[in-house]
């Protein structure tokens, strides 16, 4: 039986604690350090290693490692061209991402996954439920920081866990489609989707499945947060079939893009950061035929809790609820791509 994301994260926390404790014991026994100082050194070494891994992810992603310049995604319109970050902004982005990753992977996912999402005191009238779809190697607990803001805005939210953790996206898509059908039957309306990272690809695949079955659109709209629509350079280092499917311009992604219709893409708003630490190189979340809200100075996991990303998500949901009216500009621009469907 495959382990759940929560179990895997708890095991990872245990390994980290053991490593820090082992270093402290070695310093106390072998170097004669006092136990308080040795314990502090173990914790600092653990945090330094953790911070180094986040920094390497930023450098690899923003530098577009393993992706030749000829294979970069089409450049978005000039209206979305990002301004370079200053040193202070770059440091703030890095530190916020370190905090977000540590919280998501060492606290929320391993130990808080049984908590229920906050629900609105006064739900928005005539508004579908929102289904929150997590990304690679995660579970629904990653949404615990954003859910209260969605509830405060009047949205009723539910979550889903995509299992097994390192499974096939083509196996996740039918499960998501089944859940969308169930929510539609239970609530009387097709739900809205908010998807982080790989979750956005699963949502796209579910739309294709429904279309092949000659079914109506399974959802009222999709908001993707940092989804690598063209692929992810770092996915080559990930485990599992889903990581292989997310590799840069993979055959799976190419097939998915070729299977989509303009109507499917028109139901998507892609919220992304030019300084995403995982979904890159920059521009991979620019998705032809969809609408976009581009942000700056926010890392990949920080998109789940940064106030600017939360506001952008609310703006995207508002645009999907009332597609005739333009969504407000939130730290970026809402812009619809009009290039042909598929990869260039």
Full set of structural domains in the chain with CATH: 1-344 (3.40.50.1820)
230 vs 222: CA distance, rounded Å: 17
Given a contact cutoff of 8 angstroms between Cβ atoms, the answer to whether 289 and 262 are in contact is yes
pTM of the model: 0.92
- Taking every pair of Cα atoms in the chain, the longest distance, rounded to a whole number of angstroms, is 72
Q: Hey, how many other C-beta atoms are within 10 angstroms of the C-beta on 83?
A: 9
114 CB burial (10 A radius; 0-12, 13-18, 19+):
exposed
Residue identified by tokens 């390497």 is 56
For the chain, 344 residues long, give each residue's pLDDT as a single digit of tens: 468 999 999 999 999 999 999 999 999 999 999 999 999 999 999 999 999 999 999 999 987 665 655 566 656 665 556 778 999 999 999 999 999 999 999 999 999 999 999 999 999 999 999 999 999 999 999 999 999 999 999 999 999 999 999 999 999 999 999 999 999 999 999 999 999 999 999 999 999 999 999 999 999 999 999 999 999 989 999 999 999 999 988 999 999 999 999 999 999 999 999 999 999 888 899 888 999 999 999 999 999 999 999 999 999 999 999 754 444 444 344 555 543 333 22
Task: Note the pLDDT of residue 335.
Answer: 58
């Amino acid at each position: 039986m495959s382990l759940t994301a929560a179990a895997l994260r708890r095991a990872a926390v245990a390994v980290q604690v053991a490593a820090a404790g082992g270093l402290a014991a070695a310093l106390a026994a072998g170097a004669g350090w006092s136990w308080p100082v040795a314990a502090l050194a173990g914790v600092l070494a653990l945090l330094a290693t953790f911070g180094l891994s986040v920094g390497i992810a930023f450098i690899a992603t923003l530098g577009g490692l393993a992706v030749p310049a000829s294979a970069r995604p089409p450049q978005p319109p000039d209206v979305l061209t990002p301004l370079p970050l200053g040193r202070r902004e770059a440091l703030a982005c890095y530190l916020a991402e370190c905090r977000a990753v540590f919280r998501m992977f060492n606290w929320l996912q391993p130990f808080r996954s049984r908590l229920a999402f906050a629900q609105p005191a006064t739900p928005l009238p005539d508004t579908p439920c929102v289904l929150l779809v997590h990304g690679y190697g995660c579970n629904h607990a990653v949404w615990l920081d954003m859910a209260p803001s969605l509830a405060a805005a009047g949205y009723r939210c539910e979550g889903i866990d995509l299992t097994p953790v390192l499974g096939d996206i083509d196996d996740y898509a039918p499960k998501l489609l089944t859940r969308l059908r169930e929510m539609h039957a239970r609530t009387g309306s097709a739900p809205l989707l908010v998807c982080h990272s790989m979750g956005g690809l699963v949502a796209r695949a579910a739309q294709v499945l429904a279309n092949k079955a000659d079914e109506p659109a399974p959802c009222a709209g999709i908001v993707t947060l940092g989804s690598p629509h063209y692929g992810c350079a770092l996915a080559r280092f990930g485990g599992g079939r889903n990581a292989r499917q997310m590799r840069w311009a993979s055959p799976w992604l190419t097939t998915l893009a070729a299977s989509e219709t303009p109507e499917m893409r028109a139901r998507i708003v892609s919220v992304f950061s030019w300084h995403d630490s995982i979904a890159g190189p920059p521009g991979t979340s620019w998705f032809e035929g969809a609408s976009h809200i581009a942000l700056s100075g926010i890392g990949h996991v920080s998109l789940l809790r940064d106030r600017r990303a939360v506001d952008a998500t609310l703006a995207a949901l508002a645009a999907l609820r009332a597609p005739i009216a333009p969504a407000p500009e939130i730290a970026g621009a809402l812009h619809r791509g009009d290039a042909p469907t598929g990869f260039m």
